[in-house]
Structures are given as structure tokens and as C-alpha cells.
Amino acid sequence: MNCCLCDQVLRFAPSWRGIFLYEPPELLCQPCRNEFSKITGQGCKYCGKEGEAVCRDCHYWEEHGYRGLIHSGKSLYRYNDAMKDWFHQYKFLKDVLLAQVFAKDLREALANERALIVPIPLNAEKLRERSFSQVDELLLAAGIPYSHLLEKCGETLGEKTREERMATKQLFRLNERVVPKQLVLVDDLYTTGTTMRQAAKTLQEAGAESIRILTLIRA
């Protein structure tokens, strides 16, 4: 088997853990995996970005009509060159197998979680175009149960500038499921926070009282 990113031949060393716990084989060579950069230490309480206790983007949202929507948040990795390559191959080249690369990280981050896990959905057009939901596949690979409470009804943000993203309104609507009091919103990439704030506002208005967020990557 070859590395899914650089195509280098992988050397597989069988282990008792792998046999009895049915762990999937490694998809990346160690040099490729070492290129990813984990976020460690203290950072923004709402999104996990390193630096100040509240980053510039989250400060903006707290001061512009979204105060208190998100109780706390965490991001696992920085958006460096290695992560950009992985993200492009996974999301745009539709290499669904790459969802397994960060399965262990997501399992650990959501271990013993009692709140309902809610993935950020794609709109119907994007789902048809890509043929899979990248956030759903990340959670499935990690074995994390989840429930869709939201539907994407607004425009996509991918081609917008930072200012245009932050000015976007009404991205989501509720489906017909009951919204519980405690939720964890999960997305693959956090950029300005528009998506998370819009989703959180929709859910809070439907009765959610505690909303935390988890993203794989913080740009």
C-alpha cells in the first residue's frame, strides 16, 4: 500500500492492538503525517485559534449581534501547506478514504461527549456536485454518532471575500427534528466563523441552551 498523499510505499508492521481492536491501516507515511501541525496550548475560547483569549473574528461576532451564542470552541489543526493539500484532495478531488486520516483525533476530541453532535450540512446543490458530505464522512470514519438538525438554505461562501462572508445572512433553516438543550457543532474548516455563528443562532432560536463547536482545521 502507498501513502495517499505522496505515493511512497508504506511499511506495515502488524500489532496485537491492530488485530484485536480492528484499527484501520495507516494511510499516510510518517513524513507526510509529520507535516500536519496540531494546535496546542491556550487560544481563543470560541474557536481555538492560537493567540489572544478572543481572536479578532470572534470578537467581531460577540460585538455584532451574536454575543453568547457559542459557549466554547476548539480546533485541532492549523491550516498549513500540508493541510491544504490534504483538504484539496479530500474535498475537491473526492478522495473519501482520506476521512480516516484524522479519525483518531476526532474520537479523542469527542470521547465521552454527552451533548448531541450536529454536523454542518452542505446545501443540496453542493452535495450533488461532490457526492458526499465531508463533515459526515469525518464523523463516520471516527465512529461518532451524529444527527442533522440543520439544512443549508443560503448561498455558498467558498468564493466570497472575508468581508462578504461576515456580512452573509440566513445560511440555515431547521429540519423537523426536536432541538435538544446541549449541542456540539462540528465542521471541517473554520475561517471567519460565519457558518458557525449562523448555525448556532438558528439552533439557539429553536431552544438550544449550550452550543459548543469543534472544527478539524482553523485557518
Q: What is the spatial distance between Cα 58 and Cα 31, in angstroms, rounded to a whole number?
A: 34
Cβ-proximal residues to 143 (8 Å cutoff; 6+ apart), any chain = 103, 107
Where does residue 57 rank: exposed (0-12), middle (13-18), buried (19+ CB within 10 A)? buried
Domain count, the chain: 2
Do 9 and 88 lie in one domain? The reply is no
Query: What average pLDDT score do residues 115-136 get?
Result: 93
pLDDT at 31 over 90: yes
Greater model confidence, 32 or 163: 32
pLDDT of residue 81: 97
Do 40 and 28 lie in one domain? The reply is no
Tens digits of per-residue pLDDT, 53-83? 999 999 999 999 999 999 999 999 999 999 9
Do 86 and 126 lie in one domain? The reply is yes
Do 43 and 26 lie in one domain? The reply is no
pLDDT of residue 16: 56
| CATH number of the domain that residue 117 is part of | 3.40.50
Q: What is the spatial distance between Cα 154 and Cα 152, in angstroms, rounded to a whole number?
A: 6
pLDDT at 22 over 60: no
Do 6 and 81 lie in one domain? The reply is no
10 Å Cβ neighbour count for 133? Answer: 18
Do 96 and 194 lie in one domain? The reply is yes
pLDDT of residue 21: 53
Q: What is the spatial distance between Cα 184 and Cα 113, in angstroms, rounded to a whole number?
A: 9
Q: Distances in Å between the alpha carbon of 148 and those of 18, 44, 118, 175? A: 32, 27, 6, 8
Do 101 and 193 lie in one domain? The reply is yes
Query: What average pLDDT score do residues 3-21 get?
Result: 72
Do 12 and 118 lie in one domain? The reply is no
Tens digits of per-residue pLDDT, 75-109? 999 999 999 999 999 999 999 999 999 999 999 99
Do 91 and 3 lie in one domain? The reply is no
pLDDT of residue 158: 57
pLDDT of residue 167: 65
Q: Distances in Å between the alpha carbon of 84 and those of 81, 87, 116, 164? A: 5, 5, 29, 22
Q: What's the pTM value of the predicted model, to 2 decimals?
A: 0.89
Q: Which amino acid is at 196?
A: M
Do 41 and 28 lie in one domain? The reply is no
Tens digits of per-residue pLDDT, 126-185? 888 889 999 999 999 999 999 999 999 866 655 667 666 666 677 899 998 999 999 999
Do 126 and 75 lie in one domain? The reply is yes
Do 7 and 63 lie in one domain? The reply is no
- Give the domain range for residue 27: 1-34
